[in-house]
Amino acid sequence: MKFTSILSAFFVLALVSLTSCDFERIGPYEEDDRSYGLTNFDRLDMGSAFNITVRAGSTYSIEARGNRRDLDDLDMYTSNGTLRAKYRNNSRNRRYDMNITITMPTLRGVDFSGASRSDVSGFQGLRELDIKLSGASRATVDLDADRTNIDLSGASDLDLEGASGLLIGDLSGASKIEAFDYPVDEAELDLSGASTARVKVAKRLNVTASGASSVRYRGTPVIKSNTSGSSTVRQD
């Protein structure tokens, strides 16, 4: 009994020691900010649990605010018209919040991953927009586009506001799109893995759904659906 108590105490001390090391590794918070003079991009590719704010504006502006050590490790660059942000040192798992604010004249696509949180708004009259979320990312997007292409995976959530002529959506892995405030003329949705879509459609709605996925729609569109595995398509 005494030996068991000693052994239990040893494991508790070891756990506390490891936990303390984790907190020491992240270090004290030293707030700082950086500006980046990058231009000529219309797409964004970012991950690593960033908090991202994107606004429409006549000029380019990029600012990052967070812990000084994290800012020193942040790599912000452009490649083929895409602004990319990532950490150089992938071995550090514990970091403080990193807030990135971007202003840009137009937007063609975003690719946010790694449990990122994003807010995109202010863009009007876009011809086509690609939105890709993965790794439990969450985004709120408020804009107008002729065509909107959605790719959600890994329990990601998208809240859409504005309007579009055509919505193409591919959702998997318990992802969710909330688009009752994003009226479209036509929508084509492919859902799997217990994903959920709420859409407002005027003319045509095509749905392929599997794995206990759910589609709720508003409006009176012509419906074409192919469901399996307890999936449903219902009017709200």
Kindly state whether residue 11 falls inside one of the protein's structural domains: no
Query: In terms of residue numbers, what domain contains 204?
Result: 28-235
Three-state DSSP class for residue 21: helix
Position 176 pLDDT exceeds 60: yes
* pLDDT band per the 50, 70, 90 thresholds, residue 25: low
Kindly state whether residue 8 falls inside one of the protein's structural domains: no
Kindly state whether residue 134 falls inside one of the protein's structural domains: yes
3-class SS shares of the chain: helix, strand, coil, % to 5: 15, 60, 30
Kindly state whether residue 213 falls inside one of the protein's structural domains: yes
Closest C-alpha to 203, from 164, 169, 170, 176: 164
CB 151 within 8 A of CB 129: no
Mean of pLDDT values over 68-83: 97
Position 86 pLDDT exceeds 60: yes
**Number of structural domains the chain divides into:** 1
* pLDDT band per the 50, 70, 90 thresholds, residue 132: very high
DSSP structure string for 156-192? -EEEEEEEEEEEEEEE-SS-EEEEEEEEEEEEEEEE-
pTM over 0.85: yes
Kindly state whether residue 17 falls inside one of the protein's structural domains: no
Kindly state whether residue 138 falls inside one of the protein's structural domains: yes
Kindly state whether residue 16 falls inside one of the protein's structural domains: no
Mean of pLDDT values over 57-85: 97
CA 197, 232, 201, 166 torsion-angle sign: positive
Q: What is the mean pLDDT of the chain?
A: 91
Kindly state whether residue 159 falls inside one of the protein's structural domains: yes
Q: What CATH number is associated with residue 158? A: 2.160.20.120
Mean of pLDDT values over 16-20: 43
